[in-house]
Structure 1
């Protein structure tokens, strides 16, 4: 028989939730409240029940709609442990009808929360359940290992990096988007649109199998329509909680501002060109906005490096961007499972394969060049001779009009 053990100095939290994005959000909220917590994540009910046979949690956060078990099995399993004091159990559910709530209440969950979740309310509950006087809360980045070089650090972060820093103040954006009954989806979209990290993260969340089973989501508008305003706001709030989501180093902020401006110019050129050519302007705008995701992700990791005691210089920042931006961007787009069509448009900003290209691919390549172009008249003549411009039948005069329309 398996022995039930619990290390007295470790706070254990079990999160059982099938949606990977909600799971990640819950983990981040827990760690933002109690940074020393050991968080165990299960996406299936059987695995969660098995974990309970070998450990006693201090808190369980679990979805009622958990595959592999009937809807209240996990709550029953925790209550059958008959621990004193009673183990806190936060039950999450898509169901808020009175019959479903009454059925769950008989097993005394600590809280019954319906989706989409209110993250601020959840955080307050967790503070009451996990914090005591003298216990650690959220902490800064950990100290770097002895002998670790910046190159070694970036190599370890490439496949697990959280993405870009935020250019938008999420809490202010959500506050400005509030309507009579919560976030207004149109105002929320307008507030979040300038931020590449928020746009990419919400598109990734909307494309998760549990959220969406139809055509791939490729724009922020589609993502929020799928997630809903409340869930979209909650996920955005979670992204703002993560370590180094906000840059504080002046040298890194300066570089980030350049990348944000270049991304926005590319997005504006792409959308304007798409309207001219009667193509999908929202998708093209999104692809342009995400062109510098890798560069920005490197800057965020450099902030982590700096906060952990590592030295930074203009030279090391430049070298790191040149060496790792493309790899970080590719890793993020793959790990977040952004739709292949969107990834192809992002890649086309820099280059495209000559065989079988679409008009949108040509458009993105031209938009990327326009965003990086100076104002010299000869530059428009040169760009008009490019293959992308020729195939799209756009001449130098068209490009000049386009520049005036976008740049003002």
Structure 2
């Protein structure tokens, strides 16, 4: 954006530049001391705003530049800045096409406020038109494009990596990493003080004791659950509500899977983690739908549900591949979403059973078949 400043007083010119750069550092200020210089710069650059003084040292005045500009351009804003403020000067300026008149010495703050409105209006006029978005179904169907860059999920990837590392972080490492996170600190202290971990009647009141109480793996899983909650990043109320519901459901699935894993004496930590990550693809989709809306797209609640149903698992698989998740987790994800007919491994069957229980899909023969495979037929479903 070019702004032409015709002012022969170097101090006044520097002050005008300071005001302009304070509004937008990307402005290209064209400086002229004479009418001839101002005219040449206007012809060469076609500035979007002109500031000019009334009186110039070479006996010309800024009004000559105004007349020249208005002969070919009726729209470019021209602001006259002058030590003269008598009625005839102001009227003459207006009659020749001056947009606004400021008297010297001017207040930089007041002038800045007025210049801001001109610059913002011009920036909006110059902004390239946003390309029209395709229908949301087509936009989301292009998974490769939507994964560049991939949706951010509040540090979820980093925590999953730590959970699956051959050498997990130490208690001290986690405490140092999380000491500035109030949300994680509060959650871990609350969990540590719950009936599951509280010992000897002594309350935990700091982060490092909370991690020690529950262990590194459970602490990471609690941080994982917290990272998946995307409600603060979703300004659309329906998207935020869907995120809340998905996360609440995931925590129930994780707890149910952990209980079943303990009964069957299989890897409890992996079962719990897989349960927490059950809605991973849906949560990525919710972020992308918010991005679609932010770019001017339109989306109704029915379309949100349809996209989650059709594409949630595809995005889940895309993130699994992108994050290079271990096969043990991938198998659990697949079983939770749809158990293969021939699958009999208890660590996978129990994931399907956990999802069925949380979703209330327990009144069918397939559920009973899976219970039988786990040796739990006839047992209570708590």
Question: Normalising to structure 2: TM-score of the pair?
Answer: 0.48
Relative contact order (alpha carbons < 8 A, sep ≥ 6): 1 or 2 greater?
A: 1
Question: Normalising to structure 1: TM-score of the pair?
Answer: 0.45
Pair member with larger Rg: 2
Compare the two structures and name the one with the higher helix fraction. 2
